[in-house]
Structure formats: C-alpha cells, structure tokens
Structure 1
Amino acid sequence: MAKLKATKFAKLKIIKSHYTMEKKFKRTTVTSALPYANGPVHIGHLAGVYVPADIYVRYLRLKKEDVLFIGGSDEHGVPITIRAKKEGITPQDVVDRYHSLIKKSFEEFGISFDVYSRTTSPTHHQLASDFFKTLYDKGEFIEKTSEQYYDEEAKTFLADRYITGECPHCHSEGAYGDQCEKCGTSLSPTDLINPKSAISGSKPVMKETKHWYLPLDKHEGWLRKWILEDHKEWRPNVYGQCKSWLDMGLQPRAVSRDLDWGIPVPVEGAEGKVLYVWFDAPIGYISNTKELLPDSWETWWKDPETRLIHFIGKDNIVFHCIVFPAMLKAEGSYILPENVP
C-alpha cells in the first residue's frame, strides 16, 4: 500500500509541476483509461489511475478552472466474446453486467467523473465509424492481405486467443496464439505446435483476409520530435517506453479484424470485419464527451486553448502516447495530449 501511495503522489507531483511551468490554457480535458468491461475494477486500478486523476480534477475545480473529467467502459474485443461463449450468454450481456458494476464501484468510491459512458453507445458507434471513414477517405490507411487461421467448421477467422496448441518453448498444452500462460512467452499463432480452434476443436487452415493498417512508420518523424524533444517532462517510464518504441522503428498496425463483436468497418468489401478494439476504444474519450456536450464537445477536443491530459496505467502507454496521437494527427482537427501521467 505504501508503494501504491508513493506512485500516486509521484504522479500528482509531476503533473502539478508541469502544470505550473506550461502556458496557460482556457480549459482542461482530463481522461482516465477506460476499464475493460470483462471484470470488476480493483484497487490497483483505483490507486494507479483513477484516484490520481480525481485528485487532480478536484484541484483544478478548487482553483475555479474549467475542467472536464471523462471516463467510460471499453466494451469490445475478443476476451469479451470468449467470456460470453464460456458462460453461454451474449457479449452484450457481459458488458452490460460489468459496465454497471464498474460504474457503481466508481460512484461508491467517489470518483467525480463528469460523464461515464461506454463504447457500445450509439454515439460512440457513429463517431468511431465516422473517424475511420475520415481517415479512409484521406488515404491514411494502407490495405494488406495476409493469411490467417480459419475455422472451416465454425466458418470464421480465428483471433489469436481462439487458437490453442503446444507451446514451442516450454511444450505445455493449452498455450494461446498470442502467449503461453505457463512460461509467459509472447507467441504468434503460427508458432504453436498442433494448433486447434478453441471454438470447434478442429484443426484450422490458413486463409487469405484483407485488413486496413495505420502506417505508424509514416508518423515516426513528428512523433520523435514531439515526444523526445518537446515533452522531456513526461514521467521517466512513459518517456522511456516511447523512446524504446521509436528507436526500434514503428510499424504499420492493423485497425480492423475479423470478428462479429464490435463496430463494423464502414467501407465496401469489409463484411464480417470490425474496428480493432485498440482503434475504437480511445475514440471513446471523444464520443463520451460528445454524449455529455452534444453542441460544444469540439471545444474540448479541437480548440488549441484546451489542454488534454490522459491518466493511464503502464500497460497502455504506447496507445496513448504514440498510437492515439497518430490517429488524431492523421484526422487533422484534434489537439494532442500535453501530458500522460
């Protein structure tokens, strides 16, 4: 607990120090990482992200500053479909249960969100779809065809977590297509020995599929300057992880996947494909703001006199500091975060 408290106050000290040094803004948009609606929120989440964000927002409110505190549930992705299948219910049933539970937990703990919504809301579906279409129409994506595992019995492409087999490293059975839970090694589906579908139990085959990718390598130049030169005040672990990714060289990242749970890719020839959850989830910050302020939400996301601050956990640094800013920059009308504590 002492370590958690030290981490919390270290974050607040850094953000307060940065706040006193930077230029004055008319307003501040504060977001906190969207908890995944596949289980309850726990004390580590609260101590690492939500309590520090809440304290900072209350600090700005006490100073009579204009601030908006945005939260919400992240409700798409494969783990939710896996839980639904195991429990014999729908993915919507899963997210309805955990969204309500998480929202109630925050309320009981006194976290003072201005809005706490979800990525299954109609507002989010429309905004995320429009965001993708804007980038698509501007030519900001590249299309790539690749071979992926396909379940001929279930007639569906298999996400990494729907493929199991023998780990090539520790040789334990039941390793997933993205990781072996026993030895912790990161894997690709094709690394598995004797792979099988977690849906039907049959042996999958390789089949061609087309997806859209955000070419992060195209954005590497400005990201390197923006982070490594212009934001040296960011927390050492945030700055260091970003530098590591940039030094390794950024690669195109898929923004779509073959799945039946999520926001449909809004272009022709994309039947059976949805927006990859990492792409649609951060747009939730924007859609939740729009849900709260339908007539003035753009002021909080597009006005250069608005300061944007993301409170996040260590597991989503890259998404908030590299991927989401690249998405916003590619769209062209949004501000970028000033700090990511």
Structure 2
Amino acid sequence: MKLSRLFLIAISVSLFVSCSQDDAPAEPKGLYENGIFVLNEGGSGSGSVSYISNDLTDFTQSVYTTVNGTDILGKYVQSMFFDGDNAYIIVGGSNVITVVNRYTFKLIAKIETGLKTPRYGVVKDGKAYVTNANTYSYSNPATGNTDDYIAVIDLQTNTVESKIELNATANRILLENGKLYITEPYNNDKLLVVNPSTKALETAVAIGSDANTMEVKDGVLYVLRSPYGGRSEMVKVKLSDKTMTKVVFPESLDGVGNLDIYDNKAYYTLNTSVYAMNVNATEASTTEIMKYTSTSAYGKMYGFAVRDNRIYIADGGDFSANSKAYVYSLTGTIQKEFTVGVGPNSFYFND
C-alpha cells in the first residue's frame, strides 16, 4: 500500500513538473527578437541598421555598432534577407554581405568575394541567390546593362560558388514555387524567370519598363512600374501560365513608388502620400489614406511597408544626417516616430 502511494506521488510530481515546463515561456533568443529592422543606406560614410520592438517601446538607433563595436557595415546598405537564425545584410557600395545572428546581431561572417554591386537576395535549399548590378551606371544607364548576374552562395561556407549570367539588368528578386522572379530596372522591360535547379534563365516576360517593387499573393505576382513621362501601372502576372493584366494609373498618380500587398489590398505611394485599392480592382484609387511632411531632399518616402495593421514609412532625409521612420495606423493616425540613421530605405520584420 505504501509503495502504491509513493508511486502515485511520484507520478503526480512528474506530471506537475512536466506541465510547468510546458507552460513556461520560451527563453528569448536575443534582444532583437520580435521586432522591426530599419535599414539605413547611409551617405558618404557607412550605413546602419536600427531596431524597433513590435510594441514600439524599445528602440536602438544603430544595432550593428552597438553589438560589434568599431566594425562597420560599409557604404550603401541596400537590403536584408533571412535564413534560419541568421540575417544577411547586403551592402552594395562595399560589395559585401555581412552575416549576423538575427536575434543578437553578433557578427558571424562576411562574404566579400564574387559580388559586384549586390542588390537583393532570397534563399532556397541552403543557397542564397543575390542579384548583382555589376558594371551598371546610374548616371549612364546605357552602360553595363547586359552583364548583371545572380551570385549563388553556399550558406554553409558563406562563399559564392557560382554565377547565373542573365544577359540583362537585374534588381529585385522574389522566390515563388521554386522559381526566381527578377525585375529589370529603368529602360528594360522584362520580368526574368530563372530556374535555380538548372541555374538558367527560363523565360523573360515583357511587362514594360521601369519595374520596381513586386509582391506575390495567391499565385499572382504584382509588379509596380513607373516609366518616366508615361503612366504608372500595376502589372498582375498569373504565375501558372504567365498571363498578364494591368491596372493603368491616372496621370495624377504618375510616379508612384512603393507597393505592398496586405489583407487583400494593394498599398502604394506617391511622394509623401499613401493610397490603397483592392487587389482585384480594375481602377486605381486616387483617395489618400494619409500624407506626411517629408524632410527628404527629394520630397518622398524611401522605405515603405504595411504589416500588422500598421503603415511603416522611412523618410530618406538629405542623406547627410539622421532621418525619421514613422508608424501609422491603417487609417493614417500617427502612432510613433523614431530618429533612425542616414537614408532609411526599407523595413524587415524579425518574427
């Protein structure tokens, strides 16, 4: 009888401990878990990364230097992508990708060879695919417009193992259903489709020139394009068969800049204004959700995102002094503003 009682007590204690462990909150992975990174391109000096917590209460203006001391990211911080516990920061002006732990931001490695003006990257099966503008000249777009390539990076060794030559220009890149989709900037008019398995350009879809931001939702790729002197458009490419439809923006919206798809709405910007329309709409809305006062030398926002019922705006400033990032509600009510680094250009969500 005593053995039975002892046995029952032991089982009860074991269950209590087990339940207590199951109910215990997970240990935080680092100070920068569950927040937003703001990439600051930088001016003549090094760029930086700022951090905002999801509840908007914690803020670090320069995460990388806070953690890694005197080491710098380099000139023109362009973009970021994630894989597992790591974040990869693309610094186009210095031809380097800096690898950090995404939760602690501690430096892990630097990829410094095989890159030439890197732009954007994605990850598939342990490999990163990073667009490189190569010899492209922004002051002379006719120069170097056919020598861009994708650098294929082995993320185990952090080395560029091969290149996929595109014979075209390359900018934004997106991975969907095992294929890479790449926009050509400026005067080139193709959406490039690359098969990473064969490391070859599979097809090029003519969508019109000056394509920039793109998003994918429910098998449709949405691409925003704003040709100089022409009407802006949102191009919808059905990925299963590459059929295409377009929403042509009215003249009053010439020059729309950023696109983000959130909750079945397409959000887009013009200078300092934000607009939205249903993704299935055939006409673009010209009614502002909100407008802010810019300190940018160019009078427009550079970074833009819509997430978790908020609108995030990064004002480029004058690219010589620290600038601002703003958080608004979806109806345009300001929630918070932050003084970030020089030339903020994008937001990345560290879930």
TM (normalized to structure 1)? Answer: 0.26
- Greater fraction helix: 1
Bigger relative CO (Cα 8 Å, ≥ 6 apart): 1
- Greater fraction strand: 2
Q: Looking at CA atoms only, which structure, 1 or 2, has the larger radius of gyration?
A: 2
